[in-house]
Amino acid sequence: MKIKEFEKLFGFKPKFDYYTLDYLFRDGNLFIKKENTKLLNLIKKLANLAYPDEGDPKIPENKWYNFYLPIRMGKVEAIRVAIVNYKNMYSLIPTNFTPLEVYPGNERIEEEYFDIVKEMIRFSKVLKKNPEIIKRCLSPEMRTGKILGKYIMEKVLSKKEKERITNDYFSYMQNMKFLYPISLKDYLEICAICYKAAFGNKTKDMNLEDMYKRWADGRDCGMLKIKKKESKKAFIYWLHHKSHCGGHPFEIVFSWHEHGIHLYPPSKDNPWFKIYVTNYAYAWDFLKMVMALIKNKISFKAPELEKVLKFLAGETYFRVNEYDEHFVFYHSCKDKRKFIEWDKIELPKFKP
């Protein structure tokens, strides 16, 4: 909706633009914490305009998912804001921004936080009288939805290949041998199989430790300093007494975002290797490693292989315009936008 039309209809125009919201609700931490009773009571006043969408009186905890803040982005856009009340804390959670947690206290805070809540109260009163207006304030860039990966991924695994790999893996699992205990050299040799499968010629002329140093996390808890590389006893001693130093010795492919690929050595309780991928940017590398382990007849388990195969086959949904494990923004969908399955537009359950 155009700003002038909005102002003419409702007697005010949005006070904030996107960049101000970004400044107030963008933080490198998991949440922003403020201690201000006045702001807390103002959020409570906003929440009390509607019935909770979800609640548990035993905790007590209440959640409202569908409040909105109108902002200026060349026109009027609405940002969906959730509210969570847990005991004596209220939080504001604008979609794709850092949550703001507010507790009782006298901390001096930016006046804009108060103005944002007041703006939401004012807009809620508009929406209560004119619920249809929200559709005109939610452009495709601001709405949320989902889209299957096959429509937006550059490459997908064929259904036939997915079934073949699944069958090969589960057939192979029937004949696994116990590998515990192993030596450091044994572990690095299996890592090398994985590295060569995933990174090919990049491993040329590299020895076992070179490959590990090139791609692993690096915080190895002193693993590479084990003097007797071929001693099973030495590796098991390190595994039991030194491997839990807070490092990531088994993250054989490092990722700045979350974790990359982990290859855990056999243990007494799990006497075979285990391989996992966390950041799905490495999903294809992970799959190459799995196939190489099968080819080389290495006893291992990949507990999340089916989930990864589903992702690579394009059968996993990506959230649209909303941060999630897999997500994409509307402007990136281009000619595939017709395949977006939009979420239903919901409003607060306003009280009479």
Inside any domain, residue 223: yes
Query: Is the predicted pLDDT of residue 28 greater than 80, yes or no?
Result: no
Which residues are registered as beta bridge partners of 8? none
| Same-domain check for residues 165 and 303 | yes
- Global pTM? 0.85
Residue range 169-226, pLDDT digits in tens: 999 988 888 999 999 999 999 999 999 999 999 999 999 999 999 999 999 999 999 9
* Parent domain of 272: 159-312
Total of domains in the chain: 2
∠ Cα 168 170 175 (to 5°) = 95
pLDDT tier, 29 (very low <50, low <70, confident <90, very high otherwise)? confident
Residue range 128-181, pLDDT digits in tens: 999 999 999 999 999 999 999 999 999 999 999 999 999 999 999 888 889 999
Inside any domain, residue 239: yes
| Same-domain check for residues 132 and 196 | no
pLDDT value for 253: 98
Neighbours of 279 (CB within 10 A): 17
| Same-domain check for residues 121 and 63 | yes
Closest Cα to residue 116, out of 3, 60, 6, 39?
39
Residue range 55-93, pLDDT digits in tens: 987 778 999 999 999 999 999 999 999 999 999 999 999
| Same-domain check for residues 140 and 220 | no
Neighbours of 186 (CB within 10 A): 17
| Same-domain check for residues 137 and 185 | no
Crossing angle of the two packed helices 305-312 and 283-295, in degrees rounded to 10:
130
